Amino acid sequence: MRAALLQTIGDETLELVDDIEALPPGPGEVTIDIKATGVCHSDLHAMQGSLPQPAPFVPGHEGAGVISALGEGVTGLAVGDHVIVAWSPPCGKCNNCTERKSPHLCVMIQFAVAGSRRFTRNGQDVFGMAGTGTFAESLTVPQEAAVKIDDDVPFEIASLIGCGVTTGVGAVINTAKVVPGSSVVVFGCGGVGISAIMGARVAGAATIVAVDLVPEKLEQAKGFGATHACHPDDLAALRAELTGDGFDYAFEAIGLPVTMRAAFDAVRRGGMAVIIGVGAMDSEVSFNGFELFFSEKTLVGSYYGSADVRSDFHRLLRLWKAGQLDLEAMITRRIGIDEINDAFAAMKRGEVIRQVVTFD
C-alpha cells in the first residue's frame, strides 16, 4: 500500500513508498483504512526530533477512516464502521481514567504501542507516529484508538477532530473553562490556534484577540470569531486599550519559549495562561520567584485539549453540525499523499491553516 515514510529523524523530506504493509490486527486491535488525514505541526516536530519517536516511522496522527478488519476480542466495533483515530486513547482502567477523572493523561496504551512496530517493509520494522501513522492507506491500532462516529460525517471533517480541533477547542472549554464575557488572547493562528479561537467564541468570550506574524492569517482569524487581530509587536498597546491590565486568558499555540513567556505576560494578575504548543525538551522558559508569587497567575499545559475522546469527539461534532465550529473553512488545501512534502513546505511558510490528505 501507499504511505509516506521518514527513514531517519531529522530528514527534511518524506519518502513516498508503495510497498509497505500494515500489521494484521492482533487481539483487541482493529485495522482502519484511512480516508482522510490532516497535516499537523506535531508531525513536523516528530520528524525533527522535538517529539520522541523511533524511526523509521510513518508520520500522521490526525485521521479518520473505515474499519476493515477486527482482531480477536474486539467489542463495540464492526467492519464498516466509520471511526476517528485517537492518538492518545484512554485505557479506562488506570488511576487517570478512573479515580482522577483525567483520561486524557492516560498513557497506558499510547506508550505501549508508540515504541512497537506498526508496519513492515521488506522485512524491516516500521513504527507509526504516536502508535498510529495516518500517512498510510491502512493502519492497525488498539480498539480504544478507534472512536466510532456517524456515517454521515465527512472524513475530512472527522480527521480534524482527531487532533487539531480537539486540542484547540478543548484547551478553552476543558482546560481553562473560559467563562462567558471574558477576554482571551490566542498566540498562533494555525489549525490549533484557530480552533482555540472558535472554542473561545463557543464559550462566550467577549473579546478574542488573535496574534500572528502573518497578516493573511490575522484576517482569516476574524472569520473564525476573533474580535481583534494584531502583530505581536502591537499587542501591548491593544491589550491596554481593550483590557487595561491584561487578558483573563491567554492560549499559546506555537510551542516556542518566547511565545509561552508572552502568553504569561499578556494575562492580568490572577489570569490564566494555557500552553497548547509543543515545545522542544531542551527549550526552557524563565520566571522569577517574585512574579510567580505576586501575580498569582495560573500557568498550565493543555494535553490533547484535556479531552475524553470517547465523549468529546462527539460533542465537537455536534457543535460542528450546529454551525458553531466552521471546520470546512479550516481546510486550506485538499491534497493527495504524493503532495505531502509540498504540504510541509507550505506549513513551514505559514501559508495554511490545515491541509488534508485524502486517499482515494
- Give the pLDDT confidence score for residue 326 in this predicted structure: 97
Residues spanned by CATH 3.90.180.10 within the chain?
3-162+326-358
**Cβ atoms 160, 62 nearer than 8 A:** yes
**Cβ atoms 64, 34 nearer than 8 A:** yes
**Cβ atoms 86, 77 nearer than 8 A:** no
**Enzyme catalytic residues:** 40, 42, 45, 61, 163
- Give the pLDDT confidence score for residue 57 in this predicted structure: 97
Distance of CA 237 to the CA centre of its chain: 31
Sign of CA pseudo-dihedral 71, 73, 77, 79: positive
- Give the pLDDT confidence score for residue 112 in this predicted structure: 87
Question: How many other CB atoms sit within 10 Å of the CB of residue 320?
Answer: 20
Residues spanned by CATH 3.40.50.720 within the chain?
166-303
**Cβ atoms 311, 178 nearer than 8 A:** no
CA 250 – CA 176 distance, rounded (Å): 9
Supply the CATH classification number for the domain 166-303: 3.40.50.720
Preceding omega of 25 cis (within 30 degrees of 0): no
User: What cell was used for 101?
Assistant: 477523572
| pLDDT tens-digit profile, the chain (360 residues) | 999 999 999 999 999 999 999 999 999 999 999 999 999 999 999 999 888 899 999 999 999 999 999 999 999 999 999 999 999 999 999 999 999 999 999 999 988 888 788 999 999 999 999 999 999 999 999 999 999 999 999 999 999 999 999 999 999 999 999 999 999 999 999 999 999 999 999 999 999 999 999 999 999 999 999 999 999 999 999 999 999 999 999 999 999 999 999 999 999 999 999 999 998 888 999 999 999 999 999 999 999 999 999 999 999 999 999 999 999 999 999 999 999 999 999 999 989 999 999 997
Superfamily, domain 3-162+326-358? Medium-chain alcohol dehydrogenases, catalytic domain (3.90.180.10)
Strands (E), the chain: 3-5, 15-17, 21-22, 29-39, 57-58, 63-70, 82-85, 119-121, 124-128, 138-142, 146-148, 183-187, 207-211, 228-230, 247-252, 267-275, 298-301, 331-335, 354-358
Predicted TM-score (pTM) of this structure: 0.96
CA 59 – CA 26 distance, rounded (Å): 22
CA 204 – CA 53 distance, rounded (Å): 38
User: What cell was used for 157?
Assistant: 471533517
- Give the pLDDT confidence score for residue 327 in this predicted structure: 97
**Cβ atoms 6, 59 nearer than 8 A:** yes
Measuring CA to CA, how many Å separate 62 from each of 101, 191, 293? 24, 12, 39
What string of DSSP letters covers 48-92? HTSS---SSEE----EEEEEEEE-TT--S--TT-EEEE-SS---S
- Give the pLDDT confidence score for residue 222 in this predicted structure: 97
